[in-house]
Amino acid sequence: MVFRKPPDGGWGWVIVVVSFFTQFLCYGSPLAVGVLYLEWLDAFGEGKGKTAWVGSLANGIGLLASPVCSICVSSFGARPVAIFSGFMVAGGLMMSSFAPNIYFLYVSYGIVVGLGCGLLYTATVTITCQYFDKHRGLALGLISTGSSVGLFIYAALQRELIELYGLDGCLLIVGALSLNILACGSLMRPLESSSSPPPEKMFVDKVPDQYFVYHEKEKTVEENISILEKGYIDEKCVNNGPDGKQDSILNKNALSSINVNEKDTYKKKVVEQTNFCKQLAKRKWQLYLTYWKETMVLFKNKVFSALFVAILLFDIGGFPPSLLMEDVARSANISEDDYYMPLISIIGIMTTVGKLILGILADFKWVNTLYLYVTTLLMTGVALFAIPFAKSYLTLAMLSGILGFLTGNWSIFPYVTTKTVGIEKLTHAYGILMFFAGLGNSLGPPIVGWFYDWTQEYDTAFYFSGFCVLLGGFLLLLAALPCWNACTNQSSKLPPNTYSYKVASNA
């Protein structure tokens, strides 16, 4: 399909608005799942580690399935995928209201809602990139804040709905709100060239010439058969004597000879199609081998290898606060009367601020984005170490704000990846890193919950989280030091790709 030049405006700003609200509606509940986490603990009486799997799956499954999401959007388009995913998110949330046990939530909330969010993220990013070129960074920055604003609003909204209508009613209402994604998706008009040929013609143009020959032969055979059959019927009606029987015998012989020719043509067609499929499979296999070879070359880059470890450890240690901070406050015996704002809401609004400020800093030439990212990792580790010493709402709110701001380093992560591997390898490397980020998102909260089940307090869990993030930060800092530059520059000179891969993130 041939696309027009990105207009950088016009209907593109409508795309930005609907993409913002799409991310707001789909990510609001999964990111603010910490409010629901407390209710699920009381409702099902399971351990904190087992219950934490629900929220971690909802946030990690989209990243883990990012290659599948990209294939779906490339094959069917952003608008159909957005509409279908809207049904997934809304249906998953509504199904969760009828959950009889925690295992049902793993599927309804964790997998169905999480996969729907991943598909919607990929659809919104893809359609936005099609409509913008010069202002693409601004457009992507605006739509990415939708998830952070959703976290801020949904944390308070879900808490209020639980008080008014209970957990089941809250999930039903939130699921009904998610149906507005269908309206947003319907406005994602694809950017197609008006002069492009219709899909049927494009499909026919890609068919090898020999298939046209077989098609014409088959058509000729069918026409001859229909003509002979028609003639046979007419003759039978006119001639009822023995001559008519003789003519019918001749017609049957002619038909049988044509059927033999048709079988030979069909056999040739099968042979040609088999050879074509073998060549196609061989070509695809060579592409897969090339992909894995270049992946191995990427890991020879010391900075990239350290970045892969850092993003994995950061998500294992840095993601749990957004899910468990409310339970941390309850475990510290902080009264609900002292709450001025849900802690998750503070994390959400400060994440938005962090994305904007860190993104602006990354645009300055005198700022090294790699060192800036390392700084956010080290500060996050220190903040996680400080959580066990926070025994009041004010200190927890301050730490929530700091952690939320530092989590905004997602906005500079593409810059860091580009600086590490080069623009030619960005999509390849970013897809690998996002997979491990999703793995960290999925494992982090259950690990922290298991630590609590083991020790009956969160102190050890957050010491472990802080250690993970600090370890990742120090490893990345060590790899980024100037003494490694010579090795890094040699390993980052990779042959250019002859293909591209689309990915999705949770940034």
- pLDDT given for residue 175 in this prediction: 94
- pLDDT given for residue 249 in this prediction: 52
Task: Report the C-alpha gap between 349 and 341 in whole angstroms.
Answer: 11
Q: Is 413 inside a domain boundary?
A: yes
Same domain, 114 and 5: yes
Q: Is 396 inside a domain boundary?
A: yes
Q: Is 123 inside a domain boundary?
A: yes
- Residue 172, pLDDT above cutoff 90: yes
Q: pLDDT for 52-79, tens place per residue?
A: 889 888 888 888 887 777 778 878 888 9
* Opening angle at CA 365, ends 360 and 426, nearest 5: 75
What is the largest distance, in Å, between two alpha-carbon atoms of the chain? 110
Q: Is 248 inside a domain boundary?
A: no
Q: To the nearest whole number, what is the mean pLDDT of the chain? A: 77
Q: Which long-range contacts (CB under 8 A, 24 or more apart) does 471-474 make?
A: 471/313, 472/309, 472/310, 472/311, 472/312, 472/313, 472/314, 472/317, 472/377, 473/310, 473/314, 473/374, 473/377, 473/378, 473/380, 473/381, 474/378
Same domain, 179 and 298: no
From start to end of 225-384, where are the E strands?
none
Q: pLDDT for 228-248, tens place per residue?
A: 444 444 444 444 444 444 555
Task: Report the C-alpha gap between 57 and 103 in whole angstroms.
Answer: 12
Tally of CB atoms within 10 A around 106: 17
Number of domains in the chain: 2
Enclosing domain of residue 431: 274-484
Task: Report the C-alpha gap between 422 and 494 in whole angstroms.
Answer: 9
> Which H or E element spans position 67?
helix 66-76
Residues of the chain with pLDDT > 70, as a percent, come to 72
Q: pLDDT for 405-454, tens place per residue?
A: 998 887 777 778 777 777 667 666 767 777 888 888 888 888 888 888 88
Q: Is 195 helix (H, G, I), strand (E, B) or coil?
A: coil
Cβ–Cβ < 8 Å for 447, 407: no
**CATH number where 471 lies:** 1.20.1250.20
Model pTM? 0.65
